[in-house]
């Protein structure tokens, strides 16, 4: 698998052209990636899951019940887990717990950046306490964002992420660019030709896929984006009762061993995760407060904390301890 240096996917001068041309010509009047995914209710459940809103994946310690969340959805109000935490006033609260085994903490570390960004505690499985209120919220969010309603749909969702995920979407973008004979063009020629194409979905994803190819980065490199979310979903499934604790931890162990095999360090895993997040968002990183930059800043803040999860040894022996 082709590696790349930290933050190497910084879009160059082509983005300046895209900012003035691509966004006005191709994006004007179109829904944002999130809006398009939320409103396309006619697509199959699998498509809804693979393009799910990742904000839900960090969980909440809020006290807003599931019916309240559904009411907001009917009112077309965008609700993230961070919003629920702020309303509940419990986002910054932690509870003294018996320290989890290092292997389980390692699992938690793979999705800790999102846990942290939502004000939860990465040292807890899923990031928050297993209360009735929290379980109700997670179940509602799993249904809303992943079409997960029961054990069968839960397993189907993680299987899709493990086997395909957004790296498969990236492969499809590269294949389409190759079919259009754009993949190996220089930047200016690429832009000129790309603007002539009929792109029926997020055009920025094609631009990111183009730059990945130009830098020798394979779609499989972004597997961390999919596999880190798999660990988080396993934690959610335990919280909701779709898996018991042992099964969820056993599944996380197998998934985490794959992550260890694919990457050499926490830094490299997070670089790959950020690339996948950037691709999913279709974020060309045009501003300092772009979604990908914001997510990376959360990672930096978490990494700089004394109690950060990345002090755990990356290559530590992961073993069953539950």
Residue pLDDT, tens place only, 141-181: 899 989 999 999 999 999 999 999 999 999 999 999 999 99
Q: Is 127 exposed, middle or buried (0-12, 13-18, 19+ CB in 10 A)?
A: buried
* Its pTM surpasses 0.85: no
pLDDT digits (tens, 9 = 90+) for 32-54: 333 333 333 233 334 444 444 44
Among 274, 275, 273, 270, which Cα is nearest to 303's? 270
pLDDT at residue 79 in the model:
56
- CA–CA distances in Å: residue 36 to residues 43, 101, 204, 262, 281: 11, 41, 14, 32, 12
pLDDT at residue 165 in the model:
96
| Intra-chain end-to-end CA distance of the chain, in Å | 33
- CA–CA distances in Å: residue 73 to residues 35, 52, 69, 109: 13, 15, 6, 30
pLDDT digits (tens, 9 = 90+) for 201-212: 789 999 999 999
Other residues' Cβ atoms within 10 Å of the Cβ of residue 103: 19
Which residue do the tokens 């799993």 mark? 142
| Residues 95, 129 contacting (CB under 8 angstroms) | yes
Q: What phi-psi label fits residue 216: left (phi over 0), alpha (psi between -120 and 50 degrees) or beta?
A: left
Cα–Cα dist 110/230, whole Å:
10
pLDDT at residue 18 in the model:
56
Low-confidence residues in the chain, pLDDT < 70: 1-98
Among 132, 117, 218, 125, which Cα is nearest to 167's? 218
pLDDT at residue 289 in the model:
86
């Amino acid at each position: 698998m082709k590696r790349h240096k930290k933050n190497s996917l910084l879009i160059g001068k082509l983005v300046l052209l895209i900012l003035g041309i691509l966004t006005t010509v191709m994006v004007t009047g179109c829904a944002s990636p999130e809006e398009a995914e939320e409103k396309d209710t006619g697509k199959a459940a699998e498509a809804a899951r693979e393009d799910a809103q990742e904000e839900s994946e960090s969980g909440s310690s809020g006290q807003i019940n599931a019916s309240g969340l559904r009411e907001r959805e009917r009112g077309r109000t965008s609700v993230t887990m961070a919003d629920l935490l702020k309303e509940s006033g419990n986002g910054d609260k932690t509870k003294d717990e018996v320290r989890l085994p290092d292997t389980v903490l390692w699992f938690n570390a793979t999705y800790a950046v999102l846990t942290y960004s939502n004000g939860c505690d990465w040292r807890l499985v899923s990031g928050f306490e297993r209360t009735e209120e929290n379980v109700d919220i997670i179940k509602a969010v799993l249904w809303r964002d992943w079409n997960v309603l029961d054990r069968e749909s839960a397993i189907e969702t993680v299987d899709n992420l493990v086997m395909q995920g957004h790296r498969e979407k990236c492969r499809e973008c590269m294949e389409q660019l190759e079919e259009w004979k754009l993949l190996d063009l220089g930047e200016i020629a690429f832009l000129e030709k790309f603007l002539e194409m009929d792109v029926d979905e997020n055009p920025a994803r094609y631009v990111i896929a183009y730059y990945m190819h130009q830098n020798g980065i394979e779609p499989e490199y972004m597997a961390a984006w999919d596999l880190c979310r798999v660990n988080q979903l396993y934690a959610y499934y335990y919280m909701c009762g779709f898996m018991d604790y042992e099964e969820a931890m056993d599944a996380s162990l197998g998934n985490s061993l794959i992550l260890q095999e694919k990457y050499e360090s926490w830094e490299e895993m997070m670089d790959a995760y950020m690339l996948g997040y950037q691709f999913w968002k279709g974020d060309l990183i045009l501003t300092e407060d772009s979604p990908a930059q914001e997510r990376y800043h959360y990672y930096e803040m978490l990494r700089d904390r004394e109690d950060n999860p990345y002090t755990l040894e990356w290559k530590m022996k992961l073993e069953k301890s539950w």
